[in-house]
Every structure is written in C-alpha cells, then in structure tokens.
Structure 1
Amino acid sequence: MNARRCDIAILGGGLAGGLIALALARYRPELSLLIVEQGDCLGGNHVWSFFATDTDHEATELLAPMIEATWPDYNVHFPRHSRHLATRYSAMTSEKFDTALRAALPEDAILTRQAVKHANETEVMLADGTLVSAGGVIDTRGLRDVSHFTGGWQKFVGRKFKLKAPHGLERPIVMDATVEQIDGYRFMYALPFASDVIFLEDTYYSDSSVLDRPLLEARIDAYLAERGWEVEALINEEHGVLPVVAGGDFAGFWRNGGEDTARAGSRAGLFHSLTSYSVPDAVRFALALAHHGALDGAGLKAFSAKWAKGHWENQSYYRMLSALLFGGAYPEERLRILERFYTMKPQLIERFYSGRSTSYDKFRILAGIPPIPIPRALGTITGFGRQPAPLKFSGV
C-alpha cells in the first residue's frame, strides 16, 4: 500500500477547495497541503463571476490571479425596461484558476485524476489504494444530497465562442430577460471577453432539474443568429443544475452529507439561497479558515459545522424570497418579480448579491405593489398557502 502524509488534505479541486488551498498557502505557509481532484485539471470547466462589492480588499487580492476579465459596469434588459449599473464586474475562468493554483503550490501538493474511496477527519483512502494521513481533512467535492431542502432550480448551459467579426458589446449583460420566457423565468447572460470572443449562457429558474442540453444549445445559437453574430469556433462549453433553496432541515442535510470530515463549498451549503451564487461565500470561508487557530481534524470539523450553521441562519431572508419565487409565484410570474427588483437602488442590489442586505433593504424588496397577490404571498410565508416542492435531482 502506498502512503502519503500532509498537514491538510483538501478533497476536491473546484472553487471552494482551490480557494482554501490558496488562502492556506498565503497565510499558513508552514502547512503542507494536498489537493485531491478526480478530474484532469483544477476548477473543472467553469466561468465564475462576482461584483466588486462582493469582496473586501483581502478577498479581492486572493481572487486576482484567477480573473480573466473585469468590466467597470454592466447592463440588464427586461421587457419593460433596461438599465445600466456602474458596479465593477469580474469573471474568473477554470484555465486561470488551474494556472494560479499550480503557481502557488508545490507540484506534489496537487493530485489529479484520483478518486476518493473513503475519508475521515485524519485519513483519506484513494481509489488506487494510496492512504493519505493528514492532520486534518476537508471535503469540498460538491453538493451530495438535496433531499432535505425545498425550492427550485437554476439550470444553465454556457458556451464561449470566437466570432468572425466583433460583437459590439462594451459591457456584460448580466440578465437579458427579453428572450422568450420558457420553463419558468429565463434569461440570457453575456460576457464579452474580447471584441470577437463572447460567452453566452442560457439560464432558467425552473421547477424541474431536467436539463436538455441540445435544446439550450440550439437556443443559444438562435440568440447569436438574431444578432447577426457568426461563429468562427466554439471555444468551450459548460452546464449546471444548482438548487435554489427555499427551506428545509439543515441538521438533516448536515448529517446526511457525511459527518466524518470537515466540509466546505456547496457540500456545506455555502451558497446564496436565491441566486445559487458561490464566489463570495467560498472566498470568505477560505480566508476565515486560514486565520483560524485549530486546523487539526477535530478543529476543522468544528469550525466548518459552526460556519455552515451560521450561514444557514443568515440566509433565512433569502430562503423566504426563494419560497415566494417557487411557491407564492407561478412560473409565468417570476419575470415580473425579477423585473421589479432591478428597478431598485444600485446599493441595494449590490448588498443583495453579496448576501448582506440591511433591514431596510429587506423591507424595500417586499414593500410597494407586489408582483404576486398579497394573500398568496402571505399564505406562502406563513406556511398555510402554496409551498415550494421538495428538491429532487432528476439528472442532466
């Protein structure tokens, strides 16, 4: 049997695991690390984006090496209005993510193409029979089970293209909801990485987790054609199905997700309950962990469990909004909810995305003329009306 030894073993080399490794390498260089990743490279095949107001100076510095492009502002488009918002917006890519991690870590700290057979707080058994002994183990391998949650789904297909001619977009379109509304609330997302390179993502807030990739690819192609954008080459493609959590049993989720190791990322429920947004929570957790004292197995477990529970409690308002979106609202009404939200003050929108809404923000979001009938909304909030369904992943 092969054997390896390290201070911290990180299971999964995606966003959460990679940021933990970067934070530990920067602030705890005395620790030996090992990232175990099942795929060929770190970060998989993803584009992650965030607003400048999502992160403080320390977090922004940690993310900087992974950023592919930054824009000073962005647009949103709805049937009744369009809006330009002057908030800086950045996008990270898996390629930059992998490069940054390999530059920051010793070569022997990264192990790819290796599955985990089982793990506990101080040991990891790999599929090839290697036993990793660690001072502590943290599992970041993605969300394992959603059966304890209620809500809906955010699902998408994203494609990055090189075009035959410039597209003419000066800034990102974070939401283009002027597209045909199908399968709940639908919008197109566009990132102009270069004058002739664009990333387009067809996204849905849907009651179903079923993702028909060829159908969404065809809709992206139609969006290109409608704008006269001719494709020279498809650079890459990604897809995903993410939970939009409206409620549930967090204690049950934690027990069912595996209590033998510390956890982070979506495996610990660390994402925005309404937007499924993960960058702010991933970088906050990574930095907090790097500055934490006890990083042995027991200390890591206690820290991650406490952090995750606190995050769940802090997300209660956003879960209520998710309940209104997937319980109080019918699918055809979701567009009006998001359209109304984007008429509000830019600072409110910024705090919403970062998960730091003030009490006044929360009041403003719910006040005024609501997009859905008040009796139905109150029924959902009180538990006596239409409720979101239990989540069940149907596959891609």
Structure 2
Amino acid sequence: MSETVRRHYELYPYPQYPLLASVRRCDTYASNLSAIWSRFNGELPHKAARRILIAGCGSFAPYPFGLANPATEITALDLSTRSLGRARLHCLLHGVRGVEFRAGDLCDPATLTGEYGLIDAYGVLHHLADPAAGLRALAARLAPGGIMRVMVYSSYTRREEESIRRALRLLKIQDVAGVRSLIARSAPESRLRRFSDASHEVAQRSGLADALLHPQVRTYRIEPFMDLVQQSSLEPLLFAHRQALQDVQQEVVRIKRMEQGRRSPGNFVLYLGRRTKGAAPDADEARLLLNPCLAGVVGPFSFGSVQCSPRLGRENPVLDGAARRFLSRFRRPVRAGDLSASERKLAGEFCEALFLLRLRPDAPLP
C-alpha cells in the first residue's frame, strides 16, 4: 500500500466503533475457522492450517475474529499503528486474548511467514495500488484447502460516493472540517446533502473520511472483479453479499443483468479457495456438529428466541426454544442417518446457515 494510504489511516483509524461496543459470539458464527473450513472441505482444519490472517484488519475486526476463535492463532495485519492500537485495546477491554498485532504491508513478502487456513481481506483490495499483486501475495499465504474472504466496492453501489469524491477533489477539499462545512452550506435537495442524510458513516470523522476523502479507491463491475480473481489462481466458491445465489456462475449472470440497469446487489463479497476438497455430501454416514459459536445460544440457561445476524447473504432462521433444543443435540457429532426425515431436513437448513458443520464419514472428529 502507498504511504498516503498509511497516513490516511493514522489520521482516521477506521472503523471508529465505541470501545465498549460488544458483539454476541453467536453473531461471529461465519468467522469461525472450523465452520468455514468444513463448509468447503467437509472436514475440520488440520493442525498446520489452524491459523487466521486478518489482512488490513483496521481498528475492530480482530475482536470478533478472536471471539469466534479463542484457541486459534490469529495475526492482525495493518499499515496503521494507530488502528492496531485501537484494535488491541478493544480486544483487551472485551477479554479477547491470543491475537498477534503486526504493522506492515501485505504486499511485502517479509511481512508474513507460513500459511493460513483462513485469510480475511474485507474492504482491502480496492485500496491497493495494484490489487492483483495484493491478491496474489495473499493467495501465496493460503494453505491447501484454505479459504479467503474478500470484499470489494461495487461501482454501482458506490456511485454517489465516487461522484462526491470527484467533486471534492476539484474543489480541493481535503479534510473532514472542509467536507462538513460544505455539507452545512449545501442545498437540502443536493446530492451531497442527500448522501449525508442517508449515510450512517458521515456522523463520525473516520467514517466520513473513509467514504469521501480516501486517497486511493477503485470500484468494480462484476466482470473486472472476476478477472481479478482469475489472476490469483484461487477458485471462487461462494458469494456472500445480500441475496446472492449459491451457484457462483449463476450469481455472476444475475449481477451482469443488474448492472445492465445500473444496479448492484451491494458491494461484492466472495469466498475463494485454494485446492479445497468440496463440501461433505448429505450421506447417512456424514457427521453433523454444532458450530462452536452457537454453544452459548443452545445452553440450558438460554431463554427466548435468538436471531443471528446474517453473514452469508441471506436471513437466518430464528432460533426459538425448539430450534435451540434441536441444535443442542449436536454438541457431539451425530450421524446423519440416525435422524428422522424431518430432522434431517431441518439439519440441512442449519448446515446451509452454517449453524451446523457437516463432516465426511472419514473425517477425523474432534
């Protein structure tokens, strides 16, 4: 990344969540390494792959990842020492231990060592001078069977921000105070005022700066994004943005149709894999196991209904008392063939939601 990007995040650490802001562990279910690995490999990660890299971690992501993976080695990498300091403090205040915080450039081969079973690059590639080189650098650190999640800005989702950013550059407005002054003086029906009123980001300095003052941003339509993915030699596995179709190619076709009407499903979120084995089939001998992040939800002292935040592009089923009692049976591995037809159907829905892990018959059990 460029020095200007580093300076930007030193000045505006992002995101600027309150330090006391907490996350329910059940909402981190899609950040659990065992769950993600089993989704695309049909087994639990082997010992060498039990490492997570958060590339461009910012000031918050290490906390939910640490919450989801308390016994896993996690490296939180960022250019900004100020962002890392805030992320470290957030973890400390919420009792999250075991995260290694490292300042450095993800494109520098000397920054990282070894391979990782899960790499998260959420909102990072579109801030690189050479996104293809950055993605290849991360791909080189992915273990066989490893998973990488990426998010990049969609051109049509970011249309308003990019128009405003261009105008601010022409006006030579380069700081938050200048932007806020312009917003205050803008007409109620202006593009700037409409954006300001509709966006939750602009209420904080870091959010406004990230949206409108970032020195290095690019956006993607779906074809250039998939070309970028192809250059990495990683396999696209699953889109996880809003209402995404399960089949990658079908989702690409759907997005192309949307883009013809200058629309988008939102920013693109995609899971990539390196020589993954594929999901375990729904066979009688398959073993089903509870996602560790839901252990507290199905415990004997949990009451009422719970709905976990959507992380894979679709709403999750509500976990009422009956659903929680059903899920509690999978604290230990359960053979799929031992379930009734209706139970197996329900278990399949929970596997799709990643609340249950489906393991191959020959996969080692915990």
Determine which structure has the larger helix proportion and give its number: 2
- What TM-score results when the alignment is normalised by the length of structure 2? 0.26
- What TM-score results when the alignment is normalised by the length of structure 1? 0.24
